[in-house]
Amino acid sequence: MNRQPLSAQSRTSGQPQASGPFALYEERVASGTLRRDPDQERVARRLDRLWVELEAYRPAPVRPQEERKGLFSKLVSKLPELLNRTDERVDDGIPRGVYIVGRVGRGKTMLMDLFFSCVTIERKQRIHFLTFMQEVHQRLRTLKEANPGMSDPIPPLAQTIAQDATLLCFDEFQINDIADAMILGRLFEALFAAKVIIVATSNTVPGDLFQNRPGADAFKPFITIIQRHLDTEVLDSETDYRRGRDQDDTTWIVPADETARRRLDKIVARYGEGHPVEKVTLEFSGRTLPVDHAQGPVARFDFTSLCSRPLGPNDYLAIAKKFPVIVMDDIPSLGPDDANVARRFITLIDALYDNGNLLFVSADDSPDNLFPSGEGADAFARTASRLMEMSSESWLARAHGPGGVLSRP
């Protein structure tokens, strides 16, 4: 799977690919790598259509700065009119993007990655949505610092993104944060105006994004923009493909007692062999984060030190990137009063899963029973599904194999 950040994403300008996503999907089913799934076939066909359209799509280059200013002012003046037209889809000859939505483990990311690998358009980028937002905030800060008089850095940022990518693929599109919600509407409108095509995977249908939260009303125009530019494809077959694999019994240890602690000691010793035990300070985005117990590729944490403190996606991404192996002691059962803690745990696991990290834990209960009720218990279903996959023998094999998390520089 391609999981490089936006800035590091490779660009290909190779020969037209003989196979599109549907043919590739069929090949994998025929070879037994994938199980046949009619819902996936339908989405693969939709992505195939977009692939064909993209092969013929070469939008005019993005306009230079001065002209763009005029263009954006025009756009802003049209915005109220555009935003009121909730029922219309845009039909401007530009290929429509696809928003793939469904429950966990249904193959959304797998299909998007398959599609992405087929596209030969020169400027294409595939990125986890949390990483994208992290880069957006970073670039907005840089723009403001470099141009103290600049009143609105979003249009120039959108232009830079559009210059780098005609196709943007976002994995796990989600809005958790009012600051992101406020930026996204205008950023996306400017990206669509610059003829960028977007494909996204998500567990949430566009109409439910950022709903029932303070500020949700102000976010509604963004939902409209998404609906006008992207086709929603529901991928919701019966099977969560992360389940039913061979489980490894060293990764998720229940209960979190003294025996579990000793077993985790051995894991740390095994992966950290030859390295000193030390305290490390991670530095990123102008922040520092102390890690009290590091040993080469391993970092060991108590659950509370990671999830009961006000840490966010950036912290977890930094930890995931720095330490291929994470050992975590004492994951408690969570209840309705632990919604914040559970939300951080979800974000942590998203970061570790996306980066392919190895995770060894001791816990009060199995992933499915950890957070049965409370705000966010629905979202936790994805985390439980991911934790099951991260406890499988195939996950460990991948982490140890070529290109796996342990072999990365």
Q: Kindly list the residues in this chain that would bind Mg ion in the complex (CB under 5 A).
A: 108-109
* CB nearer to ligand ATP: pick between 300 and 382: 382
Q: 108 or 398, CB closer to Mg ion?
A: 108
Q: Work out what residue 134 binds among ligand ATP, Mg ion, none; the CB cut-off runs from 5 to 8 Å by kind.
A: none
Torsion of CA 330, 336, 337, 338, to 10 degrees: 40
Q: Say which entry of ligand ATP, Mg ion, none residue 242 contacts (CB below 5 to 8 A, set by partner kind).
A: ligand ATP
> What's the rounded Cα separation, in Å, for the pair 299 and 293?
6
Q: Which does 124 bind (CB under 5 to 8 A by kind): ligand ATP, Mg ion, none?
A: none
Closest distance to ligand ATP from the beta carbon of 135 (Å): 20
**Contacted by 188, from ligand ATP, Mg ion, none: CB < 5 to 8 Å by type:** none
Measured from the CB atom, the residue of 106 and 229 that comes closer to Mg ion is: 106
Least distance CB 236 / Mg ion (angstroms): 13
Of residues 108 and 186, the one with the C-beta less far from ligand ATP:
108
Q: Is-contact 157 140, C-beta < 8 A?
A: yes
- Closest approach of Mg ion to the CB of residue 109, in Å: 3
Cβ 277 to ligand ATP shortest distance, Å: 34
Closest-CA residue to 383 (of 337, 351, 356): 351
Binding partner of residue 314 among ligand ATP, Mg ion, none, CB cut-off 5 to 8 Å per kind: none
Query: Residue 35 CB, nearest distance to ligand ATP (Å)?
Result: 4
Q: Which is nearer to ligand ATP, 32 or 93 (CB)?
A: 32
For residue 408, is it left (φ>0), alpha (ψ between -120 and 50) or beta?
Answer: beta
Bond prior to 324 in cis (omega within 30° of 0): no
Q: Give, as one character, the DSSP assignment of residue 368.
A: G
CA-CA-CA-CA dihedral for 236, 99, 130, 13, to nearest 10: 120
Which CB atom, from 203 or from 362, has the smaller least distance to Mg ion? 203
* Closest separation in Å from C-beta 201 to Mg ion: 5
Look at residue 128 and give the partner it binds from Mg ion, ligand ATP, none, a contact being a CB closer than 5 to 8 Å depending on partner kind.
none
Q: What share of the chain is helix, strand, coil (3-state, %, to 5)?
A: 50, 15, 35
Q: Which residue number, 82 or 169, has a Cβ lying nearer to ligand ATP?
A: 169
Minimum CB separation of residue 34 from ligand ATP in Å reads 4
Distance from C-alpha of 4 to C-alpha of 2, rounded to nearest angstrom: 6
Nearer to ligand ATP, 201 or 295 (CB): 201
| Secondary structure of 193-247 as H, E, C letters | HCCCEEEEEECCCHHHCCCCCCCHHHHHHHHHHHHHHEEEEECCCCCCCCCCCCE
Residue 112: CB minimum distance to Mg ion, A: 8
To Mg ion, the closest distance from the beta carbon of 174 in angstroms equals: 11
Contacts 24+ apart (CB under 8 A), 285-291: 285/134, 285/137, 285/138, 285/314, 287/314, 287/315, 289/315, 289/318, 289/319, 291/319, 291/322, 291/323
Which residues contribute to the site for ligand ATP (CB under 6 A)? 34-35, 37, 40, 104-110, 172, 201, 203, 241-242, 382, 385-386
* Closest to 319 (Cα-Cα) out of 288, 273, 340: 288
What residue 361 binds from ligand ATP, Mg ion, none (CB within 5 to 8 A, per partner kind)? none
* Residue closer to ligand ATP (CB basis): 123 or 245: 245
118 touches which of Mg ion, ligand ATP, none (CB within 5 to 8 A by kind)? Answer: none
Question: For 349, phi and psi rounded to 5 degrees?
Answer: -65, -35
What does 221 interact with, of Mg ion, ligand ATP, none (CB < 5 to 8 A by kind)?
none
Q: The sheet that has 167-171: what strands, in order across it? A: 124-128, 167-171, 197-202, 97-101, 230-234
